[in-house]
Amino acid sequence: MAPGKILVVDDDPAIRTLIHRYLSQQDYQVESAGDGQSALASFEKFKPELIVLDVNLPDTTGFHLCKEMQGRRDVFVLMLTSLAGEADKLKAFEKGADDYITKPFGLVELGARVRAMLKRSRTVVHSEPSNLSFGDLAIDPASREVTLKGGLISLTALEFDLLYCLASKPGRAWRRSELIQEVWDYEYVGDARVVDVHVGQIRKKIEPEPESTTFITTVRGVGYKFEAVKAPE
DSSP class per residue in 75-121: -EEEEEES---HHHHHHHHHTT-SEEEESS--HHHHHHHHHHHHHHH
Residue 42 has pLDDT above 60, yes or no: yes
Measured in degrees and rounded to the nearest 5, phi and psi for residue 104 equal -70, 150
Supply the pLDDT for residue 187.
54
Write the Ramachandran bin of 43: left for phi over 0, alpha for psi from -120 to 50, otherwise beta.
alpha
- Where are the CATH 3.40.50.2300 domain residues in the chain? 5-125
Beta strands in the chain (DSSP E): 5-9, 29-33, 50-54, 76-81, 99-102, 132-134, 137-140, 145-148, 151-153, 174-175, 216-219, 223-226
Supply the pLDDT for residue 210.
55
- Where are the CATH 1.10.10.10 domain residues in the chain? 128-226
Supply the pLDDT for residue 113.
84
Distance CA 82, CA 218 (A): 33
* CA dihedral sign, ordered 52, 55, 58, 64: positive
According to DSSP, residue 61 is labeled B
Q: How many beta carbons lie within 10 A of that of residue 220, not counting itself? A: 6
Residue 103 has pLDDT above 60, yes or no: yes
Rounded to two decimals, what is the model's pTM? 0.66
Residue 158 has pLDDT above 90, yes or no: no
Supply the pLDDT for residue 91.
74
Which of these ranges, 67-76, 133-142, 214-223, has the smallest mean pLDDT?
A: 67-76
List the one residue out of 59, 92, 106, 52 whose CA is nearest residue 75: 52
Supply the pLDDT for residue 39.
96
Q: Does a cis peptide bond (omega within 30 degrees of 0) precede residue 104?
A: yes
Distance CA 215, CA 196 (A): 15
Name the amino acid, one letter, at 163.
L
Topology annotation, domain 5-125:
Rossmann fold (3.40.50)
Residue 229 has pLDDT above 60, yes or no: yes
pLDDT band at residue 123, thresholds of 50, 70 and 90? very low
Topology annotation, domain 128-226:
Arc Repressor Mutant, subunit A (1.10.10)
Q: How many beta carbons lie within 10 A of that of residue 122, not counting itself? A: 12
Q: How many beta carbons lie within 10 A of that of residue 19, not counting itself? A: 25
According to DSSP, residue 222 is labeled T
Reported as a single tens digit per residue, the pLDDT across 80-97 is 877 666 677 777 777 778
Residue 75 has pLDDT above 90, yes or no: no
